[in-house]
Amino acid sequence: MEANVLFWATSIMNFTYSFIYHFLQNSSKRLPFEIPEIRFVRAGVAIVHDQTTGPTTLKCSISRTYLIEERINESKDGFFKFINNGSAVPLDMTRKDARELSEFLAFTQHVQFYKTKGAVYLSDLQGSMQLLTDPQIMTSPLIGEGAEIFGDGNVPSAFNSFPEQHCCNHICRWFELPELAASVASDARSVISNS
């Protein structure tokens, strides 16, 4: 499950950066801040097999499965929990660079929620100043009819309260994102029911 979540989270974050670069390419405004270059750790699944032999057969079975992730150098940058999956409000950061990254990540959630018409956004964002790990993919409870598509960290109550809890910051405003409201969530309901 976690490898699948990392795969999809990477795709969703790449989608977010595509939105950013497309907006910048088509804008005449000068960007007054830097866009952080952050990504999710690279990961893979390692499977350990056991072999059993009989008089005429050789059987292999899976004995263990591991998720292997790129190492985050905590001693260089530290390790931060920027936003948890129970709330859209970024956690308080004492370091200025971590606070700025936290604001950027809140902006990325806004982009994801808006561009998917209220269907999905990434949360439980944690890691260093360059690498994130162990995210949650928050999806509308209307998708999958209540099934745990991306695991039990996909909290329906947090998803439903996202439009009201998200506070637009200077990045959201600079990129001209619309204020989130319950109407976005209703847009998602109509999109999902029409598909």
Q: Could you tell me the pTM of the whole model?
A: 0.84
- Cβ neighbours for 156, distance < 8 A, ≥ 6 positions apart: 141, 146
Give the pLDDT of residue 182: 46
Q: What string of pLDDT tens digits covers the 195 residues of the chain? A: 788 889 999 999 999 999 999 999 999 999 999 999 999 999 888 888 887 766 676 777 778 888 888 999 888 889 999 999 889 899 999 999 999 999 999 999 999 999 999 999 999 999 999 999 999 999 888 887 766 777 777 778 888 999 999 999 999 999 999 998 744 545 555 555 555
Domains along the sequence of the chain with CATH: 2-38+74-193 (3.20.200.10)
Q: Which residues of 7-16 are buried (b: 16+ CB within 10 A; e: fewer)?
A: ebbbebbeeb
Of the candidates 36, 49, 39, 57, the one whose C-alpha atom is nearest the C-alpha of residue 135 is 39
